[in-house]
Amino acid sequence: MIPRSPCNLCGAREAEDLASLDRYGKSLQTVICRKCGLVWSDPVPSEQALRKFYSEEYRLQYKGITRPTLEHVYRAGKVAAHRFRRLKGLLKPGSVIVDVGSGGGEFVYLMRRLDFDAQGVQPHEGYARYSQEELEIPVHLGFVREVRLPPESCHMVTLFHSLEHMASPSEVLEHVGEWLERRGRLVIEVPNVEATCQSPGHRFHPAHLYSFNPASLRHLGGGTGFRHLRTDLSPDGGNITAVFEKEGVGSAGTEIAGNCERILGIVRGHTLLRHFGSSHPYVRPLRKLRERVQEKRATRRFHSGRELLDAIRSRELPVNFP
Ligand SMILES: [Zn+2]
């Protein structure tokens, strides 16, 4: 079939239908590029439509402006501490870090407490305001492509679960590449389209415009001026984290032989029958329940997100860096 939007990775207009429903059972046309295996919601909404959606969403959420709960801050703070431990080998004392899609600001806050010059970018007004007012950290409220920073002024840009929400991942990577110094680091974490830890019907989230596997994520970095350094999968295979280094020259026209067939095989082979034959549907809900109970218990004695993050910092992070 011919998709309504061309492939954002290789530019091809040759795709195959992958799914017609999202995880809530609503209609969502999801296609896969025959040339490279990139997966997207077709057509991809324009950036203008996304902006409208976000601003209307805010209005609906009036009162509103939702802010992260203590449980949310606890969960995100623990994840942020874990991310720091994994990335510390790539950092220099006082590094300038920009976290694109900074959520409630937990990662930026903890990095600043370790004396890094960290800032965030966040389009969700409630979360951006929470970061600015409650955590008192610098966060740009808006879309990443509106943010102007001096060229080659950053050492690291991180996108944790944000690239899949953007209208044009390749343009976003080119944009943030301009902020990075030569050999600066780009860290991207996204859901893995090959994951089989969730129920087959839960694969496609309506707010995720793109889905990647390790190969398509690696090639997206390569095509936008980055050299791939490493890729890790989370223990359950649900998330991909890739680290790149800025090189400056992208290699255009990336076709990835066999990647489309590989993803089709995995997605179509992940049937309900096979899913219920694995341990995931039994182990995963129990693990989540245990985590929620633990979060309730752990957050009980705190009155603010800031207090909570300071406790995570003193328990889990070094006093000084390095
Ligand atoms: Zn493609």
From residue 74, how far is each of 78, 105, 139, 158, 174 by CA, in Å? 6, 12, 20, 20, 33
Q: Which residues in the chain come in under a pLDDT of 70?
A: 54-65, 250, 252-253
pLDDT of residue 58: 54
From residue 109, how far is each of 85, 103, 137 by CA, in Å? 15, 11, 6
Distance, CA 187 to ligand 1 centroid (Å)?
22
- Angstrom distance (rounded) from CA 122 to CA 205: 20
Distance, CA 39 to ligand 1 centroid (Å)?
8
pLDDT of residue 185: 97
Tens digits of per-residue pLDDT, 100-118? 999 999 999 999 999 999 9
Give the β-pairing of 154-160 and 27-33: unpaired
> Is 168 contained in some domain?
yes
DSSP 3-state of 176: helix
> Is 237 contained in some domain?
yes
DSSP 3-state of 24: coil
Query: In angstroms, how far is the first alpha carbon of the chain from the final one?
Result: 53
Distance, CA 33 to ligand 1 centroid (Å)?
5
Distance, CA 266 to ligand 1 centroid (Å)?
18
Paired tokens of 121: 């970018």
Domain limits at 126?
68-251+258-316
Distance, CA 268 to ligand 1 centroid (Å)?
19
> Is 286 contained in some domain?
yes
- Angstrom distance (rounded) from CA 258 to CA 216: 11
Distance, CA 215 to ligand 1 centroid (Å)?
12
Distance, CA 13 to ligand 1 centroid (Å)?
8
Distance, CA 178 to ligand 1 centroid (Å)?
24
Which distant-in-sequence residues (6+ apart) come within 8 Å of 193 by Cβ? Answer: 39, 203, 211, 212, 213, 263, 267
Tens digits of per-residue pLDDT, 139-166? 999 999 999 999 999 999 999 999 999 9
Which candidate, 202, 203, 172, 165, places its Cα nearest to that of 54? 165
pLDDT of residue 293: 86
Total domains in the fold of the chain = 1
* Helical H segments across the chain, by residue range: 47-60, 70-87, 106-113, 125-129, 169-179, 214-223, 259-269, 272-277, 280-299, 305-316
pLDDT of residue 276: 74
Give the β-pairing of 27-33 and 39-41: antiparallel
Paired tokens of 224: 């936008």
> Is 35 contained in some domain?
no
- Angstrom distance (rounded) from CA 226 to CA 139: 25
Distance, CA 155 to ligand 1 centroid (Å)?
30
Distance, CA 283 to ligand 1 centroid (Å)?
35
pLDDT of residue 228: 95
Give the β-pairing of 180-191 and 154-160: parallel
pLDDT of residue 62: 45
CATH number at residue 95: 3.40.50.150
Distance, CA 38 to ligand 1 centroid (Å)?
5
Distance, CA 50 to ligand 1 centroid (Å)?
22
Distance, CA 204 to ligand 1 centroid (Å)?
19
pLDDT of residue 63: 47
DSSP string, 99-117: EES-TTSHHHHHHHHTT-E
Distance, CA 184 to ligand 1 centroid (Å)?
27
Paired tokens of 74: 């606890």
Distance, CA 104 to ligand 1 centroid (Å)?
33
pLDDT of residue 55: 63
Distance, CA 316 to ligand 1 centroid (Å)?
41
Which distant-in-sequence residues (6+ apart) come within 8 Å of 108 by Cβ? Answer: 97, 99, 102, 118, 119, 120, 131, 135, 137, 138, 139
